């Protein structure tokens, strides 16, 4: 063995041991939470527009669970109220948490149709936010959730601009980007995301797309599915049933 | 050694020494000072995922509640609120689970808690029970008449508007305002008890509308057409929505 060969092999050995120790599937399994294996899951959410009553319990619960600031313009999930009038004009407003909805917005006289649309991070399979992050602070986990590393994020707001769904905001206290994580800390413990947990009408459904028998599996079989902004090829994992064409 | 160095100009030797020192410092920093997460994006993402998974849970999930509160669960599981999660009304309860005797979850008794879901809102799907809080026994707490765990109304609603308020409000302003719902819809008595499994009928024949709107038997002040030739293959309400203002 000459010196060149020795160095080559030495480098290979060092890097492969690093990879094997820290990055193998086993490494992920044991370290995230007890025996939780991200490779066995692939999460998605289903939303039935016909069931949503716009009570805003999901917004409130999300704020509590995830320490989202109380100001009414920071949301990880929010519910939009669509009002389509007979002259085809569309009004969209995020519902308030304080029940002070202006009365003029509940007029039936010139209403063609009206409904609520719950929104959140679509956990895209091809996420534009991950593409633009200059410091690799936002990334996709093997179970299909896009997370933000709050220690690495530099708060440059590129991802907030890049998200076609407006799902991100700059956290006013930590000064880093924040977004829905499908309540990742609950998923690893076998619990549902909190918005799904508290939804009184089961308008939100959650499940594992790798399992045929999950509630989401059934939901996607019996309904006609739609995703938001399909033309952008972001491949969202939040599926809407009975969605109106006016929603974007 | 000195002989060897003397073969190079002095400035070259000095600059090489500086570079070697610099490289040595960098190597030491890279191997001993920098944490491995900073060198390997995958490791960094893993540590961030672990941090995310370790976040504090605030909503315990309704399965935990059943363990101790069997009675409430048994009452709730047959009532209209059977699909409602405990924490949707009682709020985040993980602290109560950890320390049941000292931390008690909220037990809202005011009207405003119920009104999140049950205040009339024209965008809510029809069939969902809604009230006008200003006229529906104003200022009386809801729990005086409705048990929250089994919120059956004390008397069966006589008017359809209890659940179909949006249709009722639209209809009163239309030409059909003076007609009772039962003129056109046959409502089985069971619909009031299990509204989803037993549904009322809708007129499915043109002859039904023709009873009032046919030219052959005109009534005073009612718009009439020749039912044999007017829009022949469609059921009337495919074009004329009977509940809307003007009936168009």
Tokens 């002070």, residue? A100
Residue among A159, A161, A144, A143 at smallest CA distance from A235? A144
| Residue B131 β-bridge partners | B119
Q: Measure A107 CA to nearest chain B CA, in Å.
A: 7
Q: Where are the beta strands (DSSP E) in chain A?
A: 43-48, 77-85, 90-94, 111-120, 138-140, 146-148, 169-170, 177-178, 204-208, 225-226, 238-241
Q: CA-to-CA distance for B213 and B236, rounded, in angstroms?
A: 10
Q: CA-to-CA distance for A137 and A127, rounded, in angstroms?
A: 13
Q: CA-to-CA distance for A70 and B3, rounded, in angstroms?
A: 75
Written as one string, the DSSP assignment of B3-42 is HHHHTS-HHHHHHHHHHHHHHHHHHHIIIIIS-HHHH-HH
pLDDT number for residue A12:
64
Report chain B residues whose CB lies below 8 A from the CB of A18: 36, 40
Q: What stretches in chain B show pLDDT beneath 50?
A: none
What lies within 8 Å, CB to CB, of B60 at 6+ separation is B87, B92, B93, B94, B96, B97
Tokens 């649309």, residue? A117
Residue among B149, B56, B58 at smallest CA distance from B105? B58
- Reported pTM: 0.81
Q: CA-to-CA distance for B233 and B230, rounded, in angstroms?
A: 9
Q: CA-to-CA distance for B175 and A80, rounded, in angstroms?
A: 32
pLDDT at residue A207 above 70? Answer: yes
Other beta carbons within 10 Å of A241: 19
User: Which of A108, A141, A185 comes nearest B54 by C-beta?
Assistant: A185
CA-CA-CA-CA dihedral for B15, B18, B20, B24, to nearest 10: -170
Find the closest chain A residue to B169 by CA distance: A108
Residue among A33, A77, A82 at smallest CA distance from A167? A77
Query: For the packed helices A25-32 and A3-23, what is the interaxial angle rounded to 10 degrees?
Result: 40
- Tell me the pLDDT band of A1, cut-offs 50, 70 and 90: low
Beta-carbon separation of B173 and A109 below 8 A: yes
Q: Give this complex's ipTM.
A: 0.81
Q: Measure A233 CA to nearest chain B CA, in Å.
A: 25
Q: Measure B235 CA to nearest chain A CA, in Å.
A: 20
Report chain B residues whose CB lies below 8 A from the CB of A57: 88, 116-117
For chain B, say whether A189 makes contact (Cβ under 8 Å): yes
Percent of chain A with pLDDT strictly greater than 70: 86
Of the listed ranges A44-58, A97-111, A142-156, B73-87, the one predicted with least confidence: A97-111
pLDDT number for residue A237:
95
Q: CA-to-CA distance for B245 and A110, rounded, in angstroms?
A: 9
User: Which of A23, A147, A197 comes nearest B52 by C-beta?
Assistant: A147
Residue B201 has, within 13 A of its CA and on its CB side, a CA count of 10
Tokens 């920093």, residue? B29
pLDDT number for residue A30:
57
pLDDT at residue A110 above 90? Answer: no
Out of A97-111, A182-196, B38-52, B207-221, the most confident range is A182-196
Mean pLDDT over A139-164 rounds to 95
Report chain B residues whose CB lies below 8 A from the CB of A53: 117, 121, 124-125, 128
pLDDT at residue A15 above 90? Answer: no
pLDDT at residue A101 above 80? Answer: no
pLDDT at residue A25 above 60? Answer: no
Mean pLDDT over A213-228 rounds to 91
Q: Between A145 and A35, whose confidence is greater?
A: A145
Tokens 């319990």, residue? A57
Q: Measure B31 CA to nearest chain A CA, in Å.
A: 12
For chain B, say whether A17 makes contact (Cβ under 8 Å): no
Contact indicator for A124, A159 with CB cutoff of 8 Å? no
Pairing relation of β-strands A238-241 and A146-148? unpaired
């Amino acid at each position: 063995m000459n010196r060149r060969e020795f160095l080559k092999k030495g480098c290979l050995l060092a890097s492969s041991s690093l990879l094997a120790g820290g990055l193998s599937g086993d490494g992920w399994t044991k370290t995230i939470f007890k025996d939780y294996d991200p490779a066995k899951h692939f999460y998605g959410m289903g939303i039935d527009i016909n069931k949503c009553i716009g009570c805003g319990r999901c917004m409130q619960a999300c704020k509590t669970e995830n320490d989202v600031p109380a100001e009414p313009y920071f949301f990880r999930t929010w519910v939009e109220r669509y009002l389509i009038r007979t002259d085809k004009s569309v009004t969209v407003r995020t519902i308030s948490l304080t029940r002070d909805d202006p009365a003029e917005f509940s007029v039936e006289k010139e209403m063609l149709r009206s409904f609520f649309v719950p929104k959140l991070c679509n956990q895209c399979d091809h996420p534009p936010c991950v593409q633009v992050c200059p410091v690799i602070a936002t990334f996709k986990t093997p179970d299909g959730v896009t997370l933000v590393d709050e220690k690495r994020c530099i708060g440059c707001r590129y991802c907030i601009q890049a998200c076609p769904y407006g799902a991100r905001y700059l956290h006013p206290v930590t000064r880093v980007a924040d977004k829905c994580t499908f309540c990742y800390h609950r998923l690893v413990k076998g619990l549902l995301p909190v918005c799904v947990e508290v939804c009184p009408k089961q308008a939100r459904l959650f499940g594992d797309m790798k399992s045929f028998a999950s509630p989401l599996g059934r939901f996607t079989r019996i309904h006609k599915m739609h995703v938001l902004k399909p033309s952008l090829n972001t491949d969202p994992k939040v599926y809407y049933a009975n969605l109106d064409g006016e929603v974007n | 050694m000195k002989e060897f160095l003397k073969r190079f100009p002095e400035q070259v030797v000095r600059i090489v020494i500086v570079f070697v020192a610099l490289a040595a410092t960098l190597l030491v920093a890279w191997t001993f000072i920098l944490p491995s997460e900073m060198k390997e994006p995958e490791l960094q993402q893993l540590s961030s995922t672990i941090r995310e998974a370790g976040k504090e849970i605030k909503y315990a999930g309704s399965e935990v509640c059943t363990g101790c509160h069997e009675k409430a669960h048994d009452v709730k599981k047959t009532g209209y609120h059977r699909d409602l999660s405990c924490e949707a009304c009682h709020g985040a309860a993980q602290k109560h689970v950890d320390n049941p005797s000292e931390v008690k979850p909220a037990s809202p008794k005011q009207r405003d808690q119920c009104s999140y879901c049950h205040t009339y809102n024209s965008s809510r799907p029809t069939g969902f029970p809604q009230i006008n809080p200003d006229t529906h026994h104003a200022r009386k707490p809801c729990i005086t008449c409705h048990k929250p765990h089994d919120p059956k109304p004390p008397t069966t609603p006589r008017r359809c508007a209890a659940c179909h308020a949006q249709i009722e409000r639209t209809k009163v302003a239309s030409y059909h305002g003076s007609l009772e719902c039962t003129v056109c819809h046959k409502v089985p008595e069971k619909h009031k008890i299990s509204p989803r499994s037993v549904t009322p009928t809708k007129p499915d024949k043109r002859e039904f509308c023709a009873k009032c709107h046919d030219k052959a038997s005109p009534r005073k002040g009612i718009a009439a057409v020749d039912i044999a030739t007017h829009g022949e293959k469609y059921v009337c309400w495919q074009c004329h929505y009977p509940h809307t203002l003007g009936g168009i």
